[in-house]
Structure 1
């Protein structure tokens, strides 16, 4: 059902992934394995669908107040 709703553009990738309880990346891989979407030719390129899903998730989290102070953004980056 989640794949069908995604194909009909009734829900976004991250909504479909959440519906079936898997990560956005796993749902993307599922779509690619069924030839529903075509992955980028360069393996280092992030697929547009995953970029948009991440952006929408981040925007929703910001709207809900689920943010971190900017002073914490780089904590642990040099590990």
Structure 2
């Protein structure tokens, strides 16, 4: 779906601002999942989730080592989409990325 909006020229909003605010509202209304909202906002899921925390829309986990279920599900959806698109990576590459982070 494509929507065209004609906004007054003197509004202090960019297209990115409008996309972000729309993504947040649709997420709050449970109209879009976390990963789809982040996609609409043209942000990574992690950055979008952090923005939701910063705006007190979601509560961060009590233990910083715990990954919120929403982030895990978004990551799984993203992985499945990449598989469907044929964007597969050898296991060795995945492990190298994990080891590099440690």
Scaled by the length of structure 1, the TM-score of the pair is 0.83
Residue aligning to 1:35: 56
Q: 1:23 aligns with which of 25, 33, 44?
A: 44
Higher Cα Rg: structure 1 or 2? 2
- The runs of at least 4 aligned residues of structure 1 exceeding 4 Å deviation read 75-79
Count residues with an aligned counterpart. Answer: 79
Tell me the C-alpha RMSD between the 2 structures: 1.9
Q: 1:2 aligns with which of 23, 47, 50?
A: 23
Scaled by the length of structure 2, the TM-score of the pair is 0.66
Cα distance, 1:76 vs. partner?
6.3
Q: Distance in 1 between matches of 2:31 and 2:89?
A: 31
Higher relative contact order (CA 8 A, sep 6+): 1
1:1-79 to structure 2, matched below 5 A, reads 1-75=22-96
Instruction: Identify unmatched segments of 5+ residues in structure 1.
Output: none
